């Protein structure tokens, strides 16, 4: 076993190991990777971190964060080989941004609430010309609910927002009525548009209430799977199939599962 890297600090050790894997006498799989080919793994590892964070298992979270960190170092190692940037450049840029975006800590001291910090963050990015547009930098490949949340958050950060969550209730009623109109008309294209408007309004309500819509839907789906599983197991015990069971009976079992 090669112990060359054992005495290095952990982050330097990770960098050295990846450089060794990418070397001519390293691993052919690692050598074949590019920044583009690694993207699916980066996305997968990110979701695994999310799952670990939701589980409350800190040991699992530590492991998954390590896998995600490896992806960051892997991308940086590839870039360093072409002279584009190194992991130190990545860290330096992030440090500069953190200091620049927290003037209430590193400049004139101000006691800002979390939402004030978030709004200040967005204004700083626009005012400094760091972003050409308020909504620039939001990846369109993000899950749709998360994308809607972030777009609403960024627009709200510069003042384009409802003042109170309750104001969105009327908007929801309006969007639901518009969807119902297109539903009755049977226009699927318009239904799609109006459904999008309805979901976007609901996402903004969640944001204004401090609720993560992605998390909320995940929790609902988890509850649905658990309760539906109760229906399935109950029917199996009776030797029944779904086709042999009435909707009323399935609803009764559903209510039983809720209890």
Max distance between CA atoms of the chain, in angstroms, equals 71
From 46, 63, 89, the end of a domain falls on 89
From 71, 89, 107, the end of a domain falls on 89
pLDDT of the residue at 142: 83
**Does residue 172 sit within a domain?**
no
**Does residue 247 sit within a domain?**
yes
Whole-structure pTM value: 0.67
Alpha-carbon separation of residue 113 from 109, 118, 121, 158, 217 (angstroms):
13, 9, 12, 16, 27
**Does residue 249 sit within a domain?**
yes
Cα(201)–Cα(178) distance, rounded to whole angstroms? Answer: 13
The closest of 228, 215, 234 to 258, measured between CA atoms, is 228
**Does residue 50 sit within a domain?**
yes
pLDDT of the residue at 112: 87
**Does residue 1 sit within a domain?**
no
Q: Mention every residue, 6+ apart, whose C-beta is less than 8 A from residue 225.
A: none
**Does residue 252 sit within a domain?**
yes
Sign of CA dihedral 117, 123, 127, 131: positive
**Does residue 71 sit within a domain?**
yes
Q: What is the CATH number of the domain that holds 44?
A: 1.10.287.1080
Cα(53)–Cα(58) distance, rounded to whole angstroms? Answer: 7
pLDDT of the residue at 136: 78
Q: Domains in the chain: how many in total?
A: 2
Domain that holds residue 77: 10-89
**Does residue 143 sit within a domain?**
no
pLDDT of the residue at 11: 96
Residue carrying the six token digits 């609803």: 251
pLDDT of the residue at 56: 92
Those residues of the chain that have pLDDT short of 50 are: none
From 89, 117, 141, the end of a domain falls on 89
């Amino acid at each position: 076993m090669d112990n060359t890297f054992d005495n290095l600090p952990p982050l330097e050790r990770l960098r050295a190991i990846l450089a060794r894997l990418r070397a001519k006498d390293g691993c052919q799989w690692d050598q074949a990777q590019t920044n583009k080919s690694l993207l699916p793994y980066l996305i997968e590892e990110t979701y695994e971190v999310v799952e670990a964070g939701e589980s409350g298992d800190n040991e699992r979270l530590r492991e998954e964060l390590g896998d995600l960190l490896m992806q960051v170092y892997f991308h940086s190692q590839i870039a360093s080989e072409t002279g584009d940037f190194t992991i130190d450049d990545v860290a330096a840029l992030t440090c500069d941004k953190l200091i620049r975006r927290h003037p209430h800590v590193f400049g004139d001291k101000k006691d800002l609430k979390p939402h004030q910090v978030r709004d200040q963050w967005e204004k700083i990015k626009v005012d400094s010309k760091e972003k050409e547009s308020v909504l620039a930098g939001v990846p369109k490949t993000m899950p749709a609910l998360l994308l809607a949340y972030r777009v609403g958050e960024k627009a709200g950060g510069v003042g384009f927002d409802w003042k109170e969550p309750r104001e969105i209730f009327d908007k929801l009623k309006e969007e639901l009525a518009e969807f119902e109109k297109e539903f009755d008309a049977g226009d699927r294209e318009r239904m799609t548009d109006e459904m999008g408007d309805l979901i976007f309004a609901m996402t903004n309500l969640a944001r204004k209430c401090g609720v993560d819509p992605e998390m909320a839907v995940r929790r609902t789906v988890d509850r649905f799977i658990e309760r539906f599983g109760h229906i399935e197991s109950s029917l199996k015990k009776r030797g029944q199939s779904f086709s042999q069971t009435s909707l009323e009976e399935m609803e009764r079992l559903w209510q039983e599962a809720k209890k």
